[in-house]
Amino acid sequence: MEAYKREFIEFMVESNVLKFGDFTLKSGRKSPFFMNAGAYVTGEQLKRLGEYYAHAIVANFGTDFDVLFGPAYKGIPLSVVTAIAMHDLYGKEVRYCSNRKEVKDHGADAGNLLGAELKDGDRVVMVEDVTTSGKSIDETYPIVTGAADVEIVGLIVSLNRMEVGKGGKVTAQEEVQERYGFPVASIVSMAEVVEILSEPGENRGAVLDDTLKAAIDAYYEQYGVKGC
């Protein structure tokens, strides 16, 4: 496993972004884990977060793209910090763009987008925190492709929850790929999280003990993709 993946898993736990326990998701599912990207709040955390996204983007999609698009609201800071990291780590100058939940009807930047203007021929990488149902992409994809004749290079999320999607056959990430025809990748998957946090090592057993591991296994028995 790449070093940045291991570091990111520990970073999520240290930042109190990835939690284990008993949570009710928006979907109504009872989950033994929960990820809240809104908990990245300090300058150091945001700097590191952008670097992990940049590493994953380059590993999965390369550097041949022009714009990072982050759906409102959590995707806005993600696109900004990742654009900075692409410049600092790879010397790659990219623009950021996001949508507004409410259209602005005044000023020089009126409209439903903020940041860079999308142009015909732009190659766009979309950044999100997590894809559970694909609803966010369903809402923002028409906005992005309707603004200009762009190509979506791919979507990157921080954590692949590896749950079955709305169709009940493949994961939510795979459903997005099938529906829109662009690849979806993640910095890490939940399987990688369990693998790393189950390894012998200082404090790891306290994070993911046998009881929690059993709860996660039971969760995927119910909500994971069958046959995987």
So which residues are the catalytic ones? 104, 106
Q: Rounded to the nearest 5 degrees, what angle is found at the Cα of 211, between the Cα atoms of 208 and 212? A: 45
Q: Is 44 marked within a binding site?
A: no
d(CA 90, CA 121): 22
Structure tokens at 219: 């969760």
Positive or negative CA dihedral for 134, 156, 169, 197?
negative
Residue 199 assigned as binding residue? no
Q: Is 219 annotated as a binding residue?
A: no
Q: Give the sheet arrangement for strand 184-189, strand by strand.
A: 111-115, 95-104, 67-70, 123-130, 151-160, 184-189
* SS3 assignment, position 93: coil
Find out whether 75 is annotated in a ligand binding site: no
Residue 140 labeled ligand binder: no
Contacts of 9 (CB under 8 A, 6+ apart): 18, 188, 192, 193, 196, 197
- Please check if 95 is assigned to a binding site: no
- 186 in a labelled binding site: no
Q: Does 104 show up as a binding residue in the annotation?
A: yes
40 is known to lie in a ligand binding site: no
Binding residues: 26, 73-74, 100-101, 104, 106, 128-136, 161
Binding residues for 5-phospho-alpha-D-ribose 1-diphosphate: 26, 73-74, 100-101, 104, 106, 128-136
Binding residues for orotate: 132, 161
